[in-house]
Amino acid sequence: MTSLTLFLWASLILLALGLVGLITRRTIVGMLISVELLLNGAGLSIVAAAKTSSTNGLVDIHGQLAALFVMGLAAAEATIVLAMVLVAQRRFGTVATEAITTIKGSKA
Partner 1 sequence: MNSIIEQILHNIGHLLDSCEAFLAPILPGQGIAALIAFFFYVLLLLGGGLTAVLARNLVRAMLGLVITFLGVAGMYLLLASPFLALMQLLIYIGAVCVLIFFAIMLTKNTTDGEETRCPNPINVLYAFLAALAPIVVAGPIIYLQTQTDPLQVQKIPVHTPVDSGANLGEGLLSMDLLPFELISIILLVAMAGAVFLAFKPQRSPNS
Q: How far is the CB of 38 from partner 1 (least distance, A)?
A: 11
In the bound state with partner 1, the residue whose beta carbon lies nearer, of 16 and 103, is 16
The CA distance from 23 to 27, in Å, is 11
The answer to the question of residue 10 lying near partner 1 (CB under 8 A) is yes
62 scored as a contact of partner 1 (CB under 8 A): yes
Shortest CB 101 distance to partner 1, Å: 14
The answer to whether 34 touches 21, Cβ cutoff 8 Å, is: yes
CB of 50 to partner 1, least distance (A): 9
77 binds partner 1 (CB under 8 A): yes
Per-position DSSP letters for the chain, written without gaps between them: --HHHHHHHHHHHHHHHHHHHHHH--BHHHHHHHHHHHHHHHHHHHHHHHHHS---HHHHHHHHHHHHHHHHHHHHHHHHHHHHHHHHHHHHS--BTTT---SS-S--
Per CB under 8 A, does 105 bind partner 1? no
Of 2, 101, 102, 106, the one binding partner 1 (CB under 8 A) is: 2
**Is residue 100 a contact point for partner 1 (CB under 8 A)?**
no
CB of 52 to partner 1, least distance (A): 6
